[in-house]
Amino acid sequence: MNRKSEQILTNCITENKENIYRLAYSYVKNKEDALDIVQDSIYKAMTSIELLKDSTVVKSWFYRIVVNTSLDFLRKHKRVHPMDQEKLEFYALGAEDSYMDIDLVRTLADLPPKYREVVVLRYFEDMKIEEVAEVLQENVNTVKTRLYQALRLLRMKLKDSSLKETNG
């Protein structure tokens, strides 16, 4: 049984490694920390596989570990996230055309984590509402509400920035 779950989990990790990296990145915003989180999450998952009762939910179980590890990390390293070199250069050299994109990225990044994570999981990771709820350990209705609020916030922020743009 354990061998089988081990295999299932290993497959899940290798198949989703890029996604979990991005998910971690969406919390910590820099490469080194995101890689650390990936590493920690794999270790945590593999060594506590006995806690996974139902191997059909392995993906959401593993994502949950990534989310929790990321949140733990942020809690431990409470700080304003520094910009990494890549991003700095990106901003510094930003061509006029890419302003809109930057605003969008910043818009998402500026969302409080609890809103951002539902958007990321639901729309970028293509998870079902139920799966998102599973990952975040919230009930389905909470997730739906948050998603709705997140979209409203996004819309407002975008309106703000486009207003500024036309005014400026």
Partner 1 sequence: MSDILEHLRKEYQSVPIPEELDLIVNRSIKQALHTRKAKRLKVKGMTVAAAILVFLIAINASTTVANALASIPGVERIIKVLTLQEFKVKDSNYEADIKVPAITNMENKELQLGLNQKYLAESKALYAQFQAEIEELKKQGLNDAHVGIDAGYEVKTDNDTILSIGRYFLQTAASSSTVMQFDTIDKKNQRLITLPMLFKDDQYIKLVSDNILAQMKEQMKNDDGKIYWIAGATDYISKEETFSSIKKDQSFYINEDGKLVIVFNKYEVAPGSMGLPEFIIPTDAIQGDLVSNHYIK
- Residues at the contact surface with partner 1, assessed by CB under 8 A: 2, 6-7, 10, 13-14, 17-18, 21-22, 25-26, 31, 35, 38-39, 42-43, 45-47, 49, 86, 101, 104-105, 107-108, 119-120, 123-124, 151, 154-155, 158
For the bound state, the minimum distance from the C-beta of residue 86 to partner 1, rounded and expressed in Å, comes to 8
For the bound state, the minimum distance from the C-beta of residue 143 to partner 1, rounded and expressed in Å, comes to 16
At residue 53, the 3 state secondary structure works out as: coil
3-state SS string over 103-164?
HHHHHHHHCCHHHHHHHHHHHHCCCCHHHHHHHHCCCHHHHHHHHHHHHHHHHHHHHHHHHH
The angle formed by the CA atoms of residues 26, 27 and 32, to the nearest 5 degrees, is 85
For the bound state, the minimum distance from the C-beta of residue 164 to partner 1, rounded and expressed in Å, comes to 17
Round to whole Å and give the CA distance between 118 and 125: 10
For the bound state, the minimum distance from the C-beta of residue 124 to partner 1, rounded and expressed in Å, comes to 5
The residue among 124 and 145 lying less far from partner 1, judged by its C-beta, is 124
Find where tokens 């920390």 sit: 33
For the bound state, the minimum distance from the C-beta of residue 4 to partner 1, rounded and expressed in Å, comes to 12
The residue among 77 and 152 lying less far from partner 1, judged by its C-beta, is 152
Burial class (CB in 10 A: 0-12, 13-18, 19+), 117: buried
Round to whole Å and give the CA distance between 73 and 10: 23
The residue among 78 and 96 lying less far from partner 1, judged by its C-beta, is 96
The residue among 6 and 160 lying less far from partner 1, judged by its C-beta, is 6
The amino acid at 60? S
The residue among 43 and 137 lying less far from partner 1, judged by its C-beta, is 43
